[in-house]
Amino acid sequence: MFKRPKQAFYNTWISTAENLLPEYDYFDFANFVNRDKQSTNLFYNNIMKMALQRANGENKLTIANAINKFNTRGKLGSQFGQEYNEYWEKREQAEHEERIKKRQKTAVETTNDAACASFESIVLNVAAEIQGSKVANNNEKGKNAATNVDANDNDNNSNDKEYSAEYEDISFEAFNEKIIYVDTNKKYMNEEILQLTETTNLPTKKPSDAFASLQNKINDCQPSTRLLRKTIKLYIAEMIDTFDPIVHADLNFTEVLCTHFLNMIDSPRNPLLQKQLERNTGFLTTIPILHNLFVSRNDILDMQWVEKNASATGNIKWDGVVFVVGNKTVTPMFVELSGGINFNSTDKKETDDEKKLVEQFIKLLKIQKAEGVETPCQYYVRYFVNILKLDMVLYFESLTYFDDYYVKRTHFTVSCPSTCSKLIDFVAKIPQIFEYRQGILNLIKEMK
């Protein structure tokens, strides 16, 4: 009966595998365990998954890369797949030739022994007729010779075990490091890009009827703080008997955020039109918007702000992180502030922050893929001021590890309102903001 190697046997290899070139090399493991293909794949997959769970920092990414590389073995055109097939063809050919040699050797020895035994029998019979007195002695020698042949034959058979080849294998999709920006140059999209766009689109979420009614009233309203306040307050008063902040989350969000921005617009010195440092700008714009977006689902999502770490990204500091309640290792959304209002709002700052985001998320998605997530996705929101337009913009984005690509999406942008006209435009974007939230909620369900 086949016995699985003990854990200590695996630990001998895994303890030094990070020093190999390449690290955690599959072929070195295959030579080490010296098993058939199916067993080797099973053992390698199991030990690497265990190592991934225990690893931290850069070593976790290294192990994830090795697992993802191993998972490309079944894909046509994969370099590792070609090396994998060549390796096992050579192994199986060598084992096949070795079995043939053993059987040929056994066959030759058996034939020779049988021929010798037959010849001895003939000689003994002839000799018995001529020398009756010597037949008994010769027969005794023949018995001894036959006994030796049987013993040798049994020894050879015991070493020539029957080989049962295993052909069953599992194929996994391969993923290559290639980023596609599907929201640029849309008129030049081919069929493949259109399919990627459709697959990574946000889910459709119908606004509540209560919100839709208020949105229409705001859209028809003149850009006056007094008229906007009156429109909102009268409508909420009409809804007082049926209003529910959870059921009507989009309506509640609209009332709270409109009041927040109207208060600043109405203030003697509108802070959104003054120079502000990055963190102070965040408390005036990004934080109120995103914190109120998730407040109705804070039983599931925990929004944390300013200099926060996430276990998935090590020592990297984030301006905002959405954690899953009860499991802080799952972080479906990150937030990064790139400058303030007329302060440190340079193209270099924006580029450096976006590079930081994408680099960290590529690592994170690779690890998720190695852990078995079918289509890893990471949501993130960036804040940046468009100096030319004097516009404080939130970019609602995502990066998805899909098929052969990392698909980077800028689903939509929202301007933080500093005037009444911009506030009306902001309200028109709220349905998209809630579709983005729904995408995050759906992602959490898929990851459970």
Considering only 143-152, 216-225, 276-285, 429-438, which range has the smallest mean pLDDT? 143-152
Report yes or no on 101 lying in a domain.
yes
Q: What is the pLDDT of residue 413?
A: 97
Residues 398 and 419: their CA atoms lie apart, in Å, by: 29
In this structure, the answer to whether residues 46 and 119 fall within a common structural domain is: no
30 lies in a domain? yes
Query: Which ranges in 277-386 belong to alpha helices (H)?
Result: 278-284, 286-294, 347-370
Please name the helix (run of DSSP H) or strand (run of DSSP E) that holds residue 398, with its range, or none: strand 391-402
CA distance readout (Å), 423 to 259, 260, 281, 414: 10, 11, 17, 10
Specify the number of domains making up the chain.
3
pLDDT digits (tens, 9 = 90+) for 353-403: 988 899 899 999 999 999 888 889 999 999 998 876 678 999 999 999 976
Task: Give CA–CA dist 335/317, Å, rounded.
Answer: 10
Half-sphere exposure of 202 (CA within 13 A, CB side): 22
Give the list of residues 6+ apart from residue 402 with CB closer than 8 angstroms, or none. Answer: 196, 199, 200, 375
- What pLDDT digit, counting tens, does each position of 127-154 carry? 455 455 444 444 444 444 433 434 434 4
More confident call, 97 vs 346: 346
Residues 115 and 256 in one domain: no
If asked whether residues 240 and 372 sit together in one domain, one would say: yes
What pLDDT is stored for residue 387 in this prediction? 72
More confident residue, 263 or 189: 263
Check whether residue 392 and residue 293 sit in a common domain. Answer: yes
Cα–Cα distances (Å) from 298 to 418, 423, 429, in that order, read 28, 26, 22
* 303 vs 117, higher pLDDT: 303
User: Which pLDDT value is given to residue 6?
Assistant: 57
Half-sphere exposure (Cβ direction) of 445: Cα atoms closer than 13 Å: 6
What 8-state DSSP symbol labels residue 327? Answer: B
pLDDT of the residue at 275: 92
- 322 within a domain of the structure (yes/no): yes
Q: Nearest-CA neighbor of 280 among 226, 228, 233, 344?
A: 344
Interior angle at CA 31, CA 29 and CA 33, nearest 5: 70
Alpha-carbon dihedral angle through residues 205, 211, 212, 218, given to the nearest 10 degrees: -130
- Contact assessment for residue 384 and residue 338, using Cβ atoms and an 8 Å cutoff: yes
Pair (63, 87) in one structural domain: no
Q: Cβ of 308: how many Cβ atoms within 10 Å? A: 17
Identify the residue with better confidence: 156 or 296: 296
Number of Cβ within a 10 Å radius of residue 48: 21
Q: What is the model's pTM?
A: 0.74
Higher pLDDT, 255 or 37: 255
Q: What is the CA radius of gyration of the chain?
A: 36
- Does 173 reside within a domain? no
64 and 85 inside one domain? no
In a shared domain, residues 151 and 16? no
Task: Give the three-state DSSP class for 136.
Answer: helix
36, 70, 104 - which closes a domain: 70
Domain identity same for 292 and 393 = yes
Report helix, strand or coil for 177: coil
Whether the predicted pLDDT of 344 surpasses 90: no
Between 324 and 344, the more confident residue is 324
Task: Give dist(CA 308, CA 86) in Å, integer.
Answer: 48
Please say whether the beta carbons of 373 and 393 come within 8 A: no
Domain termination residue (choose one: 159, 190, 218): 159
Whether residue 214 sits in one domain with residue 152: no
112 domain-assigned: yes
Does one domain contain both 89 and 142?
Answer: yes
408 shares a domain with 277: yes
93: domain range? 81-159
Distance CA 252, CA 293 (A): 10
Whether residues 228 and 185 fall in one domain: yes
Q: What DSSP state is assigned to residue 381?
A: E
106, pLDDT greater than 90: no
Residue after which a domain boundary falls, among 70, 97, 122: 70
| 171 within domain boundaries | no
Is 213 domain-assigned? yes
Give the pLDDT confidence of 152-164 residue by residue, as tens digits: 344 433 333 332 2
Query: Which residues, listed in sequence order, are joined to residue 305 by a DSSP beta bridge?
Result: 320
Domain membership of residue 167 (yes or no) is no
